[in-house]
Amino acid sequence: MDYLVTGMAENKFRLVAISGKDTVEEARIRHNLSHTATAALGRTLLGAGLLASSFKSKYERILLQFRGDGPISPLIAIADRFINVKGYCENPKTELDLNASGKLDVGKAVGLGMLYVIREREEYEPYRGTVPIQTGEIGDDLAYYLKTSEQIPSAVGVGVLVDGSGFVRSAAGILVQVMPGATENDITEMEERLLELGSLSHRFDRGETPVSLLDQLFTNWTKLEERPVRFSCDCSKERFQKGLISLGSEELSDLIKKGEAIETICRFCNKQYLFTVDEMKGFLKKA
């Protein structure tokens, strides 16, 4: 089971670790993703889950939108307080050569441009943050956003390991945020320990878990909460019905004149909803 753990280390660091193998595999299957697209979208889904870990209200959710000049952009992911995540990329079949390090070239696939972050909360105006994409590798960009827009020095690591057939072998992420009680020496030591971890995806492929990962980083940390992680979309036929009605009577009439059923597809989960001509005739009364 995929899950996320939050914790604190000596009131100096806020800790979050996430496992997402099944979640990313579900996204791969639903969107028929290439190897590179699986890594890119998977990292973004994990990143959205890490950022949503601080939410307290069940109505809160976060949207990440990477709009770079690479072939896979835009890349979009949404996560809520319960770590239900969903997302999609513009070109799911994008495949690139491995980068100089022999890894899937997510940075080139995303490209340079802007990262948009929207945080929605009940009874509040959405918070919107925008920063330039730094590398397109997702983790680096989320850390830059947290430091620049929310003034929270943070380290973010996300990784997805895909085998030769495209199957997701592992998917993992970590977020470490500096608290006011941390000294410069504490931060330096923490950064060194993070570097020593190496590849998160390879560690989780060998059996690492969110809890054991944090045990590796800190000998004295307190577990605060654990939440399941899943790919979940809240789309419905009723929502698409409202969308058709919002087209107005003139456009609906044009669709009806064609005499064919209309098939709508959710961008986030690829689920299809079919509307017959008779159903659309009924919508005219509400348009």
Asked if residue 242 and residue 103 are part of one domain, the reply reads no
pLDDT at 102: 87
Asked if residue 192 and residue 55 are part of one domain, the reply reads yes
pLDDT at 230: 98
pLDDT of 122 over the 80 cut: no
Question: What residue numbers bound the domain in which 246 lies?
Answer: 237-283
Which CATH number does the domain housing residue 258 bear? 3.90.1280.10
Asked if residue 81 and residue 53 are part of one domain, the reply reads yes
Q: Residue 29 to residues 3, 42, 252: CA-CA distances in angstroms?
A: 20, 12, 33
Give the residue-averaged pLDDT of 197-222: 95
Give the residue-averaged pLDDT of 170-177: 97
pLDDT at 90: 93
pLDDT at 259: 86
Comparing 12-26, 118-132, 221-235, the range with the smallest average pLDDT is 118-132
pLDDT at 249: 87
Tell me how far apart the alpha carbons of residues 125 and 150 are, in angstroms, rounded to a whole number.
17
Per-residue pLDDT band for 214 (boundaries 50, 70, 90) equals very high
Asked if residue 247 and residue 182 are part of one domain, the reply reads no
Asked if residue 167 and residue 225 are part of one domain, the reply reads yes
Tell me how far apart the alpha carbons of residues 173 and 268 are, in angstroms, rounded to a whole number.
21
Q: Residue 185 to residues 7, 188, 197, 213: CA-CA distances in angstroms?
A: 21, 5, 19, 22
Give the residue-averaged pLDDT of 147-167: 94
Give the residue-averaged pLDDT of 251-268: 91
Please count the structural domains in the chain: 2
Using CA atoms of 184, 190, 193, 195 in order, give the dihedral in degrees to the nearest 10: -80
pLDDT at 139: 96
pLDDT at 73: 95
Q: Which two tokens stand for residue 114?
A: 């802007």
pLDDT at 260: 86
Asked if residue 245 and residue 215 are part of one domain, the reply reads no
Which CATH number does the domain housing residue 43 bear? 3.55.30.10
Asked if residue 211 and residue 103 are part of one domain, the reply reads yes
Per-residue pLDDT band for 204 (boundaries 50, 70, 90) equals very high
pLDDT at 125: 84
Q: Over pLDDT 70: what percentage of the chain?
A: 100
Asked if residue 75 and residue 103 are part of one domain, the reply reads yes
Give the residue-averaged pLDDT of 147-151: 92
Asked if residue 253 and residue 125 are part of one domain, the reply reads no
Task: List the beta strands (DSSP E) in 203-276.
Answer: 222-228, 230-231, 262-265, 272-275
Average pLDDT, the chain: 94
Asked if residue 247 and residue 132 are part of one domain, the reply reads no
Per-residue pLDDT band for 240 (boundaries 50, 70, 90) equals very high
pLDDT at 177: 96
